[in-house]
Structure 1
Amino acid sequence: DPRNWPRYRDEFNQDYKELIDTFEEKGAEVWICKMTPIFHQHPRFKSGTRDWFWQIQKEIERVAETSEVGLIDLHTPLYSRPDLFPDALHPTAEGATILANTVYTAISKEYAELQIAPIFSDNMVLQRNKPIAIWGKGTPNSEVTITFNNTTKSSIVLADGSWEVTFPAMPSGGIHSIIFDDGATSKTITNILIGEVWLCSGQSNMAFQLKDSHKALATIENADNNQIRLYDMKEIAATNNIEWDEAILRKTNQLKYYKPTSWVESTKESASIFSAVGYYFGAMLQKELGVPIGLINNAIGGSTTESWIDRHTIEHNPVLVDLLYNWSKNDFIDNWVRSRAALNIKQAKDPHQRHPYHPAYLYESAIAPINNFNIAGVIWYQGESNAHNVEHHEVLLPAMVESWRKAWGEQLPFYYTQLSSMKYGRETWGHFRDSQRRLLDKIPLSAMAVTSDVGAENDVHPSQKREVGERLARWALADTYNRDIVKSGPLFDNIKIVDNKIVVTFRHTKKLYTSDNKPVREVEIAGRDKIYRPANAIIIGNSLHVSSNKVAQPQYVRYGWNSFSEGNLVNEASLPASTFSNEN
């Protein structure tokens, strides 16, 4: 019991070692186990149990290593299954079965069919210029050999049935094959290219299909391109206004929310149902870089930022941990999100039924299975389901980015889309867009595509996705690939108060313009009272001179604040300015 840890931690390793020695003196083969998870519903979770638990786990690993005994991991197979621990501590029969199978796999060494992780298939693209990890499952203690690029490597399958090999980094090119052999079975993956791989993730505006985007017909007609490869992770049931049946609910709990899929070449058919933003992004990269492009899409409509963060991060963050409690009535969660999830799982008999909107769920089902697969970076379009609480999202998004960078083991570029424009029921969007702009300074190696000019007045899913994908691609070309290209529209830099005017300066612009050659719209100014009034805005070079005869001593200025913005400020590349305010 972790409650005893503070009193007996100093004796733990010695006592455990003596116990092992006692069994070994009797001729026993000794295996020790990492503890099963303890979840947040445990009554003492935040008061010590959570932290003591992880300290004990580390010492169990140390004991196994120094005592040279086998270690069975009972934690990892169940850490993503809180539904199997109704009291947060003891597993159900299904959970106990997983435990039994885990132990049996480790100690029996019974033959298991050679398996390759699903992310590896014919037609895939592997990331160039980075080590190439390949992994799967097999018979414990057996040898798996992998032949790739005229090099053969082998791996001994571990006690949990896993194996992994890593090949050196390779330049772009192809075509390659990989041969897998465990002595009993041989498998081959073919038509492999080496190039640039990007993850496309978020919610419905990233999932939005190419065939539904504005003026997509010509793009689809020219989509046959074997230098673009697509890995499209689609859900077994959309989070639409429907009740899910028992089979969907069961698979959701088992983290089988995504359909099995494989890599395909870009064709008219495959591209038309892929993410529009992702496809336009990848097509521009492929054209400009001239190398193979691989795109992975796992976006889920309506998903929350917290659903994409790993459980350990949420549990240990003092702000985010409360997301885990009483989710269906949790005030941190948007009302629409809670009600939609409640409808989807209405037929559930399990009181611990899970849903893709729950904290950590999409990380566990869509990120964890692929986070050893090297990529160039991430493009992200999400926020609608978190726009109700700007301040909370300012904690969530940096935590999510850090979670993913830790999972991949590197500072991946993270390029995200600022929310667009919509007129009704989106009163917080001006604040949210400005918050997204300010997050650029909080998240290293990040960038933001402005899209307020391509919003839809009455639709949360605007169809002009080419602009979104290509604006994200501009950032990637400039910052990841060092291409000389204008990467952004004007971003607020600073203000200077001169008499009764505010002079606003911008980054990413040589000269300001308006998109329609009309006066600058949606500029407001306020004094110390913070009562904003429409302002006159005059462009002088790359600065904006703002004033109002109703504000004698201005202190604050903002632009594009309406939820449906008709702001028209652009730079020399006709890229739009972001919503901004000089308020902190």
Structure 2
Amino acid sequence: MLQTAKIFQDGMILQRGKRICVWGQSEPETTVTVEIQGQKESTIAKENGEWSVWISKLKASEDEVMHISTETEHLQYKDVAVGEVWVAGGQSNMEFWMRYEKHKEEAMKEMPKNRLRFYDVPEISYDGQIEEFDYSRQAIWRKATSEDLEYFSAVGYYFQKSIEEAQNVPVAIIGCNWGGTVSRVWMNPETVKRVGPAWMKDYEQQIAKLDMDEYWKKQHHNPMNNRGNMFADEFTEFVLPKTRSAEEMQAFFIQAENSENLQEYLSVMMPQSIPGSLYEHMVKTIAPYGIRGFLWYQGESDDDTPGMNVYYKDMLSGLISDWRRLWKDDTLPFMIVQLPGFEKWMDNNKPNEYPIIRQCQQSVVDTVKNTYLCSISDAGEQLDIHPKNKKVVGERLALLARKHVYDEEILADAPRMESVTCEKNVVTITWANAGDGIKVKGDVIECLHVFAGEEEKAYTFATEGNKLILNVEQAEEEPLKVKFAKTSWYLVNVYNSADIPAIPFEAEC
């Protein structure tokens, strides 16, 4: 009967330097004792058998044994390391496995890296799902080896590799993500009602058209809900390894048109779209496992429903509050990846409104404490929603963590417009986080436009320390407006001295 939450296993990494919680089930009202690194703490299980033990701060190490016992039962977890633990959350660009990453072959040459470990939270969205399908490939601790590297979140791997090198301790990533998901599913439903009522109304309108008893009969054992084998999905295996042409996409969907499962998926709300479904069945299963903080890469799907992207600031702020509350720590840092440039995917001509999502992400960082914005504005792909280069994402997230969490004196934040001033036809843009100076990689500044009224004006430019100086062709008396990376698709080529690209802005002189 004595058992722990599933995340406690051989080969796990525990968070150093913070009190950590170990929890599970046992016979009711029995004394449960946890021992590790010379510490011994006990508790009495509740009437329902639930128990939790808090352990004082552990020191970094690589070969510990954890003992958990009652008077009659004993569990032992071996090969336990103590170091840094981060949760990597979001949708497919965070989930994006090393199996498909651009630099995978180069990374494989460095294997094994036993101090880098990964735990993948099972993709579960309703009660009973984990019993209906084979989830043996998930919910296990893996080491970075030639055999297991392909299962790692690529963003997570490059992040933890950088942190391990900088901190010289074992580093774990807990992957808690699901492709194509909106923010409401990762939140407490009560929070959705409070901060994003339009999202709850959207859900209620969808279920109003359904016979929910019949719906759940169809969802149980529906093959589309089999999320246990991440590499068994034909669509994933088709689109993630490389950017496909419109012709290849068309051929794939023609072949798939006769798939009854696919048609069902496209026409009916799936359980992972229900408010709170992944918060309840995924996030809660790992809280409050000891962690240092969160990496978050999501937002694309919050743009899919027309008119809903404007609520993303409140939704993401609410999500951050919900997750911190589960971990009983309102200071846990969130490193947020700002969506890069992107135009369309799968021959979908519906324009995206990512500029709204990006502004919301920036607004969250401006208003919610201990949140930081990661710029990958030079790393998007115009016709692929899944950029294959995740190395740059993980490494830039690691820069933010090294500065803001581990207190290294380094330049880690993206250049950000501090002020725009005009003197006649000279526009001076002053940047924060410039380091030793702003630089432009190329002969022209990509995606920076100057307007006098509705007319776009040509300009030449020069850099001077943290200033970008534009000499604009003669304008009328109208005030000048500057727009930088405010379109859906762009590739930024303005950087600070740490080679971090600038984030979007719009300003009027």
TM tier, shorter chain?
A: 0.7 to 0.9
Counterpart for residue 201 of structure 2: 322
Matched residue, 2:341: 421
Deviates more, 1:541-550 or 1:562-571: 541-550
Deviation of the 1:266 alpha carbon: 1.8
**1:393 corresponds to which letter in structure 2?**
Y
Q: Secondary structure at the match of 1:306?
A: helix
**1:33-432 aligned within 5 A:** 113-235=1-123, 251-252=128-129, 260-317=138-195, 319=197, 321-327=200-206, 355-388=271-304, 389-410=308-329, 411-424=331-344, 425-432=350-357
Any gaps of 5 or more consecutive residues in structure 1? 1-112, 237-247, 331-339
| Shift in Å, 1:251 | 3.6
Aligned to 2:440: 514
Mark the CA change 1:535 to 1:363 in structure 2 (over 3 Å): closer, same or farther. Answer: farther
Question: Any idea what the Cα deviations from partners look like across 1:174-194, whole Å, max 9, x if unmatched?
Answer: 421111222332211111111
Deviations 1:446-485 (A, max 9, x none): 1122112111121110101100110000000011001122
> Shift of residue 265 of structure 1?
2.1
**One-letter amino acid matched to 2:343:** K
Q: CA distance change for structure 1 residues 549 and 221 in 2, over 3 Å: closer, same or farther?
A: same
State the shift of 1:580 in Å: 1.6
Larger radius of gyration: 1
Q: CA deviation at 1:116?
A: 0.8
Distance in 1, matches of 2:126 and 2:319, equals 26
3-state secondary structure, aligned to 1:567: coil
Cα distance change of structure 1 residues 163 and 354 upon mapping to structure 2, 3 Å threshold: farther
Partner of residue 58, structure 1: none
The offset of 1:256, in angstroms, is 8.7
CA distance, structure 2, for counterparts of residue 257 and residue 553 of structure 1: 65
Residue 484 of structure 1 corresponds to 409
Contact 1:178 1:188 in 2 (8 A): yes
Secondary structure of the 1:440 match is helix
Q: 1:566 is matched by which residue type in structure 2?
A: L
Gaps of 5+ in 2: 210-223, 226-259, 345-349
Per-residue CA deviation, residues 371-408 of structure 1 (Å, 9 max, x unaligned), is: 11110011111111013543211111111111111111
Q: Distance in 2 between matches of 1:399 and 1:249?
A: 22
SS of the residue aligned with 2:84? Answer: strand
Shift of the alpha carbon at 1:212? 1.0
Whether the aligned pair in 1 keeps the contact of 2:119 and 2:173 (CA below 8 Å) is: yes
1:489–1:571 Cα contact (<8 Å) kept: yes
CA distance in 2: counterparts of 1:253 and 1:473, whole angstroms: 33
1:33-74: CA deviation from partner (whole Å, max 9, x where unpaired): xxxxxxxxxxxxxxxxxxxxxxxxxxxxxxxxxxxxxxxxxx
**1:272 CA drift (Å):** 1.9
Distance apart, 1:118 and its partner CA? 0.5
Q: Which fold has the larger relative contact order, with Cα–Cα distance below 8 Å and residues 6 or more apart in sequence?
A: 2
The answer on whether the counterparts of 2:446 and 2:490 sit within 8 Å (CA) in structure 1 is: no
Equivalent residue, structure 1, for 2:230: none
SS at match of 2:286: coil
Residues 1:258 and 1:354: Cα distance change in structure 2 (over 3 Å): farther
CA distance in 1, matches of 2:139, 2:300: 27
Q: Tell me, what secondary structure is at the counterpart of 1:326?
A: helix
CA displacement 1:459-517 (0-9 Å, x = unmatched): 1101011001100000000110011222033112222233344322111103111123x
The residue type equivalent to 1:161 in the other structure is: G
User: 2:448 matched to which residue of 1?
Assistant: 523
Q: Secondary structure at the match of 1:405?
A: helix
Partner residue, 2:228 = none
Residue type at the aligned position of 2:160: G
Contact 1:505–1:544 at 8 Å: present in 2 too? yes
Corresponding position of 1:542: 466
Instruction: Judge conservation of contact 1:225–1:266 (CA < 8 Å) in 2.
Output: yes
CA contact (8 A) 2:412 2:498 kept: no
CA displacement at 1:423 relative to structure 2: 2.3
Partner of 2:507: 582
Contact 1:305 1:397 in 2 (8 A): yes
Q: Residue 356 of structure 1: CA displacement?
A: 1.2
Superposed CA RMSD: 2.8
C-alpha distance 533-445 of structure 1, shift in aligned 2 (>3 A): farther
* C-alpha distance in 2 between matches for 1:402 and 1:344: 36
Question: Hey, what's the Cα distance between the residues in 1 that align with 2:433 and 2:454?
Answer: 28
State how many pairs are aligned: 445
Question: Which segment is superposed worse, 147-156 or 359-368?
Answer: 147-156
Amino acid aligned to 2:169? V
Deviations 1:528-569 (A, max 9, x none): x56665654443321123435356433431112232203311
Secondary structure of the 2:158 match is: helix
Amino acid corresponding to residue 131 of structure 1 in structure 2: R
Contact persistence 1:145–1:152 (CA under 8 A): yes
Partners of 2:323 and 2:161 in 1: CA distance: 25
| Partners of 1:250 and 1:162 in 2: CA distance | 19
Q: Does the C-alpha gap of structure 1 residues 539 and 327 become closer, same or farther in structure 2, counting only changes over 3 Å? A: farther
* Contact 1:252–1:355 (8 Å) recurs in 2: no
| AA matched with 1:322 | K
Of 427, 438, 448 in structure 1, the residue corresponding to residue 373 of structure 2 is: 448
Cα distance in 1 for residues equivalent to 2:134 and 2:271: 9
Greater shift, 388-397 or 454-463, is seen at: 388-397
Displacement of 1:324 in angstroms is 4.5
TM-score, normalization by structure 2: 0.80
Contact 1:214 1:463 (8 Å CA) reproduced: yes
The 2-side partners of 1:253 and 1:210 are apart by 24
Please state whether the residue corresponding to 2:342 is helix, strand or coil: coil
The farther-off stretch of 249-258 and 379-388 is 249-258
Q: Residue 387 of structure 1 aligns to which amino acid in structure 2? A: D
